[in-house]
């Protein structure tokens, strides 16, 4: 007698991708059950066809309770980024999740320094895409606007700490062409 084991190695509840404040992509997924689960290979593609591994996350082995997982893409490309999971079980068999896509908009050539900053920092647009104007906003972690500056294609824009407390802030730059750049700023 020959028996075929067609048990699925995992039951995937969800798989999502979202951008973070520091322009990385956070990938999260949840399993309901796992059978002989060895690891997950987090895979990235720029065209949705050719994928390569960007992270490896150990699986739970065997589980009948929800398991929560996280992976990061610290270097997403500007434009469309496709992600999938390759689940590999203990005997080497593998299955793939569905594909999720997230689009990143990065302003090329933009640099912000120093970061972390203590008193003043600079936004350098010298190598950035040309724009007639830009709106620079500094938000606290609750999304409240702390600073707003409008520029007319300045090459280097200085920003002063003013009365801001030490902490983490979100720098949001909106160009007249509609592109939005978001960066995390740390004030000491």
**Predicted pLDDT at 21:** 63
Q: Please list, residue by residue across 61-99, b when 16 or more beta carbons sit within 10 angstroms of its beta carbon and e when fewer do.
A: eeeeeebebebebeebeeeebbbbbbbbbeeeeeeebeb
Could you identify the residue written with the tokens 């320094």? 113
Say whether pLDDT at 176 is over 80: yes
Share of the chain above pLDDT 90, in %: 39
Contact criterion met (CB below 8 Å) for 81 and 104? yes
Hey, which residues does 68 pair with through a beta bridge? 30
Span 76-118, pLDDT tens digits: 887 788 999 999 999 999 999 999 998 776 556 677 888 788 8
Give me 25's structure tokens: 């992509």
Span 33-53, pLDDT tens digits: 999 999 999 999 999 999 999
Write down the pTM of the prediction.
0.59
**Predicted pLDDT at 98:** 93
Could you identify the residue written with the tokens 């040309």? 130
**Structural domains present in the chain:** 10-104 (2.60.40.10), 111-187 (2.60.40.3080)
């Amino acid at each position: 007698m020959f028996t075929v084991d067609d048990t699925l190695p995992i039951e995937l509840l969800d798989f999502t991708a979202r951008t973070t404040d520091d322009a990385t992509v956070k990938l999260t997924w949840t399993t309901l059950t796992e059978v002989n689960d060895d690891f997950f290979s987090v895979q990235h593609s720029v065209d949705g066809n050719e994928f390569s591994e960007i992270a490896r996350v150990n699986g739970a082995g065997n589980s009948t309770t929800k398991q929560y997982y996280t992976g990061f893409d610290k270097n997403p490309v500007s434009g469309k980024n496709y992600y999938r999971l390759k689940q590999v079980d203990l005997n080497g068999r593998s299955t793939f999740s569905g594909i999720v896509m997230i689009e990143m908009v990065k302003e090329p050539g933009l640099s912000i320094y120093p970061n972390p900053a203590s008193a003043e920092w600079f936004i350098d647009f010298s190598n950035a895409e040309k724009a007639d104007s830009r709106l620079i906003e500094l938000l606290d972690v609750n999304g409240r606007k702390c600073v707003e500056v409008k520029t007319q294609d300045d090459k280097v824009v200085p920003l002063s700490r003013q009365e801001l407390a030490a902490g983490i802030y979100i720098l949001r730059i909106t160009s007249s062409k509609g592109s939005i750049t978001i960066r995390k700023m740390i004030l000491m």
